A = this chain, B = another copy of it.
Amino acid sequence: MPVDRQDNSRDRQQIMLRAIGRVISPDAVEPKEIEIAPGFANGLDGVEEHEHLWILYWMHRLADADRRMLQAHARGDTTQPERGVFALHSPMRPNPIGMTRVRLVNREGNRLLVEGLDALEGSPVLDIKSG
Contacts and interface: CB of A to CB of B under 8 A. Distances in A.
B94 A18 contact: yes
B46 A99 contact: no
Given A40-B70, A87-B49, A99-B54, A12 B18 contact: yes
B84 A44 contact: yes
Contact of A43 (B35, B50, B56, B84): B84
Contact of A70 (B22, B42, B70, B83): B42
A41 to B, nearest CB: 8
Interface in A83-113: 83-89, 93-95, 97, 99
A47 B15 contact: no
Given A5-B24, A130-B87, A43 B11 contact: no
A127 B11 contact: no
Copies per assembly: 2
Interface in A44-87: 44-47, 49-50, 53-54, 56, 58, 70-71, 82-87
A21 to B, nearest CB: 7
Nearest to A122: B10
B11 A99 contact: no
4 tightest A-B CB contacts, nearest first: A45-B84, A46-B83, A46-B87, A86-B128
